[in-house]
Amino acid sequence: MYNERKILAIIPARGGSKRLPRKNILSLCGKPLIAWSIDAAKNSKYIDRVILSSDDEEIISVAKAWGCDVPFVRPKALAEDTTRSIDVVIHACTTLQESYDEVILLQPTSPLRTSEDIDSAIESFYAKKATSVIGVCEMEHSPLWANTLDESLSMEGFLDDKYNNARSQDLPTYYRINGAFYMSKVTSVMQEETFFVTKDIYAHLMSQEHSVDIDTKLDFIVASAILKEREQCQHTI
């Protein structure tokens, strides 16, 4: 709770995953992937309740073993490849008997997000009197050096002339949504059916390291390496 405001955190984890099968319960440095988000949310100073939304019995069992509340089984109709995350959030908010003032979506594919990241984003939400706060990080590569290619692979006009000979450090800084944190007022989510409202929406800046989003095997390898290095650093302090 933050200043008498009740906060619900939802961890969405459906069973289907094509690029990295069963990724939500794959072992990452000795813990199921989903457990990293469960622990980060449970260690938050402000979150009142952490729940799982899943259609998958094995994922539900793993989440319960790590102390996550599972008040319902998500309907199969909301566990398709085309299902929007916001519909999962709306379903959870309408299914629960308790009411909450704010809701946070914590995707399990962001295992490097910490409880400190969560709490600082929550503090920012209230300090800015926001309707929504979204996690972002600086882009690893500037989109100004990117474009599409046709079948010929011709690069004529690939870059804007202004950036042809620019140094990377001289390019404007761009940010991307990192998928690690979405927070909004419950009333706004129910009315607008999106976290991306048109006003009073702010970014919460996170480091690139904490913004690793696991969609592929390569992402998994990167996250594992970072976590191992983090653990080694802690042991040497």
- Give me the domains of the chain, ranges plus CATH numbers: 7-146+176-236 (3.90.550.10)
Cα 6 to Cα 31: distance, rounded to the nearest angstrom: 29
Phi, psi of 181 (to 5 degrees): -155, 125
Closest CA to 1 of 51, 49, 70, 60: 49
Cα 96 to Cα 11: distance, rounded to the nearest angstrom: 14
* CA distances, 183 to each of 35, 45, 58, 102 (Å): 20, 15, 27, 7
Cα 31 to Cα 101: distance, rounded to the nearest angstrom: 31
Q: Considering the entire predicted model, what is its pTM?
A: 0.93
Closest CA to 92 of 63, 56, 55: 55
Instruction: Determine the distance from the C-alpha atom of residue 193 to the mean position of all C-alpha atoms in its chain, rounded to a whole number.
Output: 18
- Which pLDDT tens digits describe the chain residue by residue (237 residues)? 999 999 999 999 999 877 788 999 999 999 999 999 999 999 999 999 999 999 999 999 999 999 999 999 999 999 999 999 999 999 999 999 999 999 999 999 999 999 999 999 999 999 999 999 999 999 999 999 999 999 999 999 999 998 888 888 889 999 999 999 999 999 999 999 999 999 999 999 999 999 999 999 999 999 999 999 987 766 554
Single-letter amino acid, residue 12: P
Cα 85 to Cα 76: distance, rounded to the nearest angstrom: 14
Tokens at 28, concatenated: 């990452």
Phi, psi of 212 (to 5 degrees): -60, 125
